[in-house]
Structure 1
Amino acid sequence: MLAKKCFFRLLILCVIPVISSTAQNNQNEIKGVVLSAKDSIPLIGVSVYFDGTSIGVSTDQKGRFELNFEAGINSPMVISYVGYEPVIVDNYATYKGLVPVIYLHEKPEELEAVYLEDDPWTRKKKLAVFRREFLGRTEATIHCKIKNEEVLKLRYFPSSQTLIAYADSPLIIENKYLGYKVYYTLQEFEAEFITNLQGLRLTNRVYYEGVCFFNELRKKASKKIIKNRNISYLGSSLHFMRSLAAHNLEENGFKIFYNSWQVPAYKYFEMKKTTNFTKVTLLVDQVSVLYQDFEQSEFMTKDSFFIDTFGNHSPPNVIIFGGHISMSGVSELLPLDYGIH
């Protein structure tokens, strides 16, 4: 029998895949060229990567790129360059290895937004709250730092007790716990709070989404880093999704509970396997997930979702985690290709 949860939190990771019925390209290579939309000049050093992975390259002096990828990946391809609007390509498999010329548009200068209510929080306080809700609340968070916090724009609305954040440039996150430098393009962040009867402010809901890319901090990860990565992976949402799709939840240490009682692992999951995806439908409003008889999470969905061969789930905004998994945050986020190579 499970203990009651003490809080609830919504977490959306950085994957924003779009399901496509087109079969994957067998060549496992994508070529293209990136030009400025203003004058068609080749852009050098543009980042081209698959969202949520460590698979990426930069354009050469002629704006060209060649990107190899693993069969079965379903993450969008992101084209990102400082000072330009990013482009996301989700149907690259249809181009048979050669995508059309990609034009990047310069970011327009934005006027400061006008708000009808005052923001009583200092920037120092807003940054502290943002770090806690975005990076997470685990040991890994201590070793994780946002190197360019100055690009963050934050606003607290007292009437709704909501903190919002956005950034014009990718957040550069140095994660010494997992040995990654993460480039996270934050598209949306919202943290909603409630005040209890004792006057304490509690986190009620957190939502964030964006696209991200992982770089190794060192050429070779140390034994400690490899150990930390394994610890973060076991019991994570990625581990859960891979186990769910592979139909081996129990073998991998996951137990499913409904109304506080343990049930057969797949009793309330309807699974439909296709060539590249597994379609999943949760047949009840909510189940609890217990990993290794210790880490408890809540799992809810708004609709059916898909899991690809990497364990990447989509669409991400239909999945709601509470409890342990939701506490991890970006500080324990691993690339979708982790353990695939």
Structure 2
Amino acid sequence: MSALNTSYLRPKEFILSGFTGMESYQAWISIPFCAMYILALVANVLIIYTVKVNHSLHTPMYILLATLSIVDLAMSSLTIQILKIFWFNQRAIAFEACLFQLFCVHFLSSLESSILAVMAYDRYVAIYNPLRYMSILTHRFLAQVLLCHFLRDITLICLLPILTSRLPFCSSNVIPHCYCDHIGVAKLACTDISMNSYLGLFAISSIFGLDIIFITFSYVLILRSVLKVGSKEVFHKALNTCGSHFFVMLYFYTTLLFSGLVYRTGQKVLPEIHIMFAALYLLVPPVLNPLVYAIRTKEIRHAFLKSVLNKSSNSMKQSSRC
């Protein structure tokens, strides 16, 4: 009878511990977090707007950039939970809201990884077979690839909150984190969580593991193609572009693996360091991606300046007529 009852035990809400032991510094820590959040919002909105209004940018590369910016907007907005802890000490989160946040964190991360993988293939085709670039990466093909990745990600990630919702929670409801994370929530259950752990590992391997392998393979082929050309100018140009992309991917996947391994292996890392890495994992990629993928791309810069200048000239003409 007791076993039957405990299977339905669940708290009404969870309490997020936040940055334990750093409460006196929260006001100061919130300043860079808020600044990065605003920067991520502004930069990604500008990229989406620039790609949308400039028909010359309606090519696979820039469509992928705009798609990545949409995901980054959603991902960076998850830091509102962290800012609520900083500013209002609002640590309570409803059980259902926690599961939804858990889903969003992992689903948006998987989408980010999927888009990075498709972007790596885009760069490979552009360098390896530039003459057939538009015939290979058609809008139809791009939509199909993105849809396949979307369905893969949502199917695997949906299982995480579903399994977590079925766990009994009969002791602590304090999550040692600043937002809801799958294993962080599952570890509070008063039952065996092997299924959750194995499923989480399977999802990570199927999504992030395969994406990392594909990205690595694509960039190896890019490097091989550049070396075959033998031109120093082409080599430096490719190295500059791929080096920047590689840096962003390295940060994204390193923080992801660090957070996952700390939870699963039980490595003794200071909670403050683990939580800080996890928080920056949500914020840094949405800030870095526009800087590396778009602002350094002269077509985006020129298109944005053209849009701004056209608007200003139109407004000046209208004012002169008045």
What range describes the TM-score normalised by the shorter chain of this pair? under 0.3
Where is the strand percentage greater, Structure 1 or Structure 2? 1
- Rg larger in structure: 2
TM-score by length of 2: 0.24
TM-score by length of 1: 0.23
* More contact order relative to length (CA 8 Å, sep ≥ 6): 2
Where is the helix percentage greater, Structure 1 or Structure 2? 2
